Structure 1
Amino acid sequence: MQRLDMKQLLSQKLSPQQIQFIKLLQIPTAELEMRIKEELEANPALEEGDAEEADMADDDADDDFGDDQDDTDDTPAEGEEYDNDENILDEDFDETPEPELEMPRDEDTSETKDSDDLNLEDYLNDDEIAGYKMQGDTGGDEEERDMPLADTGSTLTDSLFEQLRFMDLDEKHEAIGRQLIGSIDADGYIRRDLGAIANDLAFSQNIEATEAEIEQALRLIQTFDPPGIGARDLRECLLLQLDRRPHDDVVEHAQRILEETFDEFTKKHYPKIQQRLDLTDEEIKEAIGLILKLNPKPGGSDPTGGGRVQYIIPDFILTNDNGELHLTLNARNAPDLRVSRDYQEMFQAYDKGAKKDKKLKEAVTFVKQKLDAAKWFIDAIKQRQQTLLRTMDSIVRYQKDFFLEGDESKLRPMILKDIAQEIGMDISTVSRVANSKAVQTEFGIYPLKYFFSEGIATDSGEDASSREVKHILKEIIEAEDKRRPLSDDKLEKMLNTRGYNIARRTVAKYREQLNIPVARLRKEL
């Protein structure tokens, strides 16, 4: 039997300005510029200008809004700074949703009577952010902002289509070729079965093609540039590239290795290959060296391929002046924004205008929404700047030895909790800053998360950063005899003799994080 019960619950909800701050905090500098441009286009009450003009405009806004606003509003006015001892994410959230302000309707006859007694001050001094939505809060805007920009450059597919047009094929075989090119993956391989491609041609283009015809078209495409394109597996890709080379003994030996002993080659069982193919030490060494120079991903070798070059724009700039570290925020993180004076002056015009106009309420509400949105956005930008500087300043103090010398062995163990406790903020806030920001130093550009690492116990009783252990592990592997590479057990013993108390499984984990293969795959001739 179903029952209806009433329960009173307490829940935490993020206010619009807190959501605004979170979104702005986690985006990097490059995206911030685009986000500000979107807000400027969406909100006519927000415009670019210097800080002094913004303060003057805000002073006028305070006069227009009136002095009797609710003192419990804990959002700072334009020009004020947030209290550095408080974190916007750690405040007690409002437990009740903000009501939406009703808009006047023309067809409501009772509204005419109410509009005669319309008091402008009721709307100028309204504390509620009526209908306030920051740009990008809705799903559609979010999807539009996350949509990648169109790539106007030539792609690998375009290059292959261009080469196909020069083949002077009939309509049927050109259609087969276009279907094959469309089936090529980003790395340059065709992994679909030729029978499935034949079905696609039959159902989508009404073209009857046998697998032999498709195979013939594929052989043609495999002669296109870059070498190895259109291969169905790694072995075929490497053989296609060898076919382009002038044939000599080395190329012939390399082809035999791939054709007859490919499994042994992938496992680096060189003695078995040498014994099976009856090759000398010098012959197998030259052949293996040639194979290793080939490109296993021909699709990624195209300089005009579909991949977009990404540039890292540092959010912080750290300089060393005779042992004194100076931290500055990238100028792109501190844009000059202000509230529009024109929108401020609109309130004065409304105040002096006809109070009985039933459209006045709707106009005042719209202007107030835009002014509130502009003010919240400027405050969120300022709060973002303060949070970034406080977080990075704490990281610099914590890792000062590294920033002075650039030596990875100087990195101290540091986790998000250490920084969060020092600056009095929540761990989630520090995480948002560390996951998407970078700092420019005299030793290069580093992502902030690079400086966070776990601690490894040492014989001296102190903890060493896992970065330091990885650095030493990499040095040991680089100096090993490649003919007899060190196993994880031997690496563990070598690190233990250096004073690092580390287990073999931890060595394996660090080795994998450094993208270093196991000992068997590191073996060289």
Structure 2
Amino acid sequence: MSGQSLTIQQQQQLKLSPLQIQVMKLLTQSTLEFNERVEQEIEENPALEVNDDHEFDNEKKSDKDDFDDDNGNGGDDDNGLDYDDGNNDDFTLGDYVSADDIPSYQYNDMTEQERRPEMSFQADESVLEDLRKQLNLLPHVSEEIKNIALYVIGCLNPRGYLERDTETIVDDFIFIASKMVTEAQVEEAISIVQSLEPAGVGARNIRECLILQLKRIDNPSDAVLLAIRILEECYAAIEDKRFDKIQKALGVTEEEVQNAVAELKKLNPQPCHTSDILMDNSVVIVPDFNVHDEDGELVLTLNQANTPTLQLNNHYATVLEEYANNRKNQSRAQKEAALFIKQKVDAAKWFISAVQQRTETMTKVMTAIIKRQKAFFETGDDEELKPMIMKTIADDTGFDISTVSRVCNNKYVQTDFGVFPLKHFFTESVETDQGEVHSMAKLKNLFLKCIEEEDKRKPLSDQQIVEYMKEKGFSLARRTIAKYRDQLGIPKAQFRKEI
């Protein structure tokens, strides 16, 4: 008879209150999505109303913070997310009995005179949104895989490439979503993204991008099938235009190889960069933040011009008070009505608090970004961007990385130099031969400048680019140059040659 034993395990579980969940959801929304959510809440909850008589507090109209702190150390003990969820079991009215105590939150951060003309533009977000819509229409895809695929879509670069490897996506998704996923699930999600339009989207490199496009062709010709074989089996040879090696390796004629190459030239190595989706279904991006230089001082405002002021409905608070004062004489129906009203009032209070927490969190994160990238906001020069990752802002603000990620995802800022996604300001560091630290954005801009200035009749080889970067102080291996070229969707020298 086997022995039995009693094992006691202690586990920690993160349990979010209804208010915290509400805040997390609101943080992920853009200005347009947030405004729609506010309107929806007003329509669905009679205990929530618009306060048309609320006077604007001039002291809240903008945040003229001190952005001179180069350390960007804006962190403190209060991370802004330790909320009281208002979920009290006792049926009390302390927060509702007085009109003065009814919370009201003015969310219009700019006066009419201060509002600048809203600047909108066509952005890659239109492509991403179209991909999300396509994904949601796919049948027989589990919610779990669909959520991973949505995250993958958010990782695509402006040209439609997926620069992150599977292992990194697994780690990031587990951290952000607090759900375990496997590499096999991520690969399945990537395959689903790669099945969407435009063909080639979600590829890890140019080779995969071209193969995806060729495999999408209905009733492929012999030339198309050969082009696929060339990419899969002789990629190095086609890069070097060694057609003789291809002929020998695959046992085909010179004419057949030329026909296959002709098919390759029809393909688009940057599926999202010149996509018809971008041209035909572009969306208007409304900046979530405004940062402008006023008399030498950077001023930050939230773009909430169309968001109404919210408050609790006084009538509901009064009715709830009457029910509480006559609790003994209530029928069952009256008690049920009182419970319904209390639920609506609590929901309204939570939502108003969530809106306020959203503003405070977004403002704090954006303030930290401005402090770190002050030189860029003053000049608009990408080379002024300093190395910065989301953990940097998390440390500065006291928030965790997932909160910073929610604030920065799909958010835009209007500056004196144009509109930028917040992700534009996050870049890794790279060190020069002299020990100077620069952002990866500066290095890639230098790389692009090198390509733009080359003689198109004699494009620079990867080795020549290595030498160019060496002259600028960056010692990079040839394979590193090839990787950057691949990430930026730039073909090899042979394919950049113009006659």
- Under a length normalisation based on structure 1, what TM-score does the superposition of the two structures give? 0.56
Partners of 2:335 and 2:56 in 1: how far apart? 27
1:87 to 79, 85, 107: 79
Measured after TM superposition, the shift of residue 357 of structure 1 is: 2.1
2:304 to 311, 319, 331: 331
Change in CA separation of 1:305 and 1:430 when aligned onto 2, cut-off 3 Å: closer
Contact 2:269 2:489 in 1 (8 A): no
Match in the other structure for 1:472: 446
Partners of 2:243 and 2:448 in 1: how far apart? 27
Q: Which amino acid aligns with 1:437?
A: K
Give the SS at the match of 2:387: coil
Aligned CA-pair RMSD: 4.8
1:416 to 380, 390, 410: 390
Give the SS at the match of 2:329: coil
Give the SS at the match of 2:91: helix
Q: Which amino acid aligns with 2:475?
A: N
Match in the other structure for 2:41: 39
1:161-199 alpha-carbon deviations (Å, 9 max, x no partner): xxxxxxxxxxxxxxxxxxxxxxx995699xxxxxxxxxx
Measured after TM superposition, the shift of residue 482 of structure 1 is: 2.4
Measured after TM superposition, the shift of residue 364 of structure 1 is: 2.2
Q: Which amino acid aligns with 1:339?
A: L
Structure 2: tracts of 5 or more residues without a match: 58-74, 96-130, 135-194, 201-215, 245-253
Change in CA separation of 1:301 and 1:13 when aligned onto 2, cut-off 3 Å: closer
Give the SS at the match of 1:331: coil
Q: Which amino acid aligns with 1:514?
A: L
Q: Superposition pairs for residues 80-159 of structure 1, below 5 Å?
A: 85-89=77-81, 91=82, 123-124=91-92
Measured after TM superposition, the shift of residue 7 of structure 1 is: 4.5
Partners of 1:304 and 1:510 in 2: how far apart? 26
Measured after TM superposition, the shift of residue 499 of structure 1 is: 0.9
Partners of 1:368 and 1:475 in 2: how far apart? 63
Contact 1:53 1:338 in 2 (8 A): no
Partners of 2:77 and 2:447 in 1: how far apart? 41
Q: Which amino acid aligns with 2:298?
A: L
Contact 2:31 2:304 in 1 (8 A): no
Measured after TM superposition, the shift of residue 335 of structure 1 is: 3.5
Match in the other structure for 1:372: 346
Match in the other structure for 1:392: 366
- Under a length normalisation based on structure 2, what TM-score does the superposition of the two structures give? 0.58
Partners of 1:400 and 1:305 in 2: how far apart? 31
Partners of 1:22 and 1:397 in 2: how far apart? 24
Measured after TM superposition, the shift of residue 365 of structure 1 is: 2.0
Match in the other structure for 1:361: 335
Contact 2:93 2:321 in 1 (8 A): no
Match in the other structure for 1:501: 475
Structure 1: tracts of 5 or more residues without a match: 56-82, 102-121, 128-145, 150-183, 190-228, 238-257, 278-283
Measured after TM superposition, the shift of residue 416 of structure 1 is: 1.6
Partners of 1:410 and 1:305 in 2: how far apart? 29
Give the SS at the match of 1:355: helix
Partners of 1:442 and 1:50 in 2: how far apart? 32
Contact 1:413 1:465 in 2 (8 A): yes
Indicate whether 1:446 and 2:420 are aligned.
Answer: yes
1:345 to 318, 323, 329: 318
Q: Which amino acid aligns with 1:314?
A: P
Give the SS at the match of 1:490: helix
The sequence identity of aligned pairs, in percent, is 41
1:367-399 alpha-carbon deviations (Å, 9 max, x no partner): 111111111111111111111112112212221
- How many residue pairs were aligned? 355
1:417-472 alpha-carbon deviations (Å, 9 max, x no partner): 22222223222222221222111122221111111111111233220111011111
Partners of 1:8 and 1:271 in 2: how far apart? 65
Partners of 2:132 and 2:197 in 1: how far apart? 20
Match in the other structure for 2:400: 426
Change in CA separation of 1:508 and 1:437 when aligned onto 2, cut-off 3 Å: same
Partners of 1:384 and 1:33 in 2: how far apart? 13
1:77-118 alpha-carbon deviations (Å, 9 max, x no partner): xxxxxx9751244x4999xxx89x7xxxxxxxxxxxxxxxxx
Q: Which amino acid aligns with 2:79?
A: N
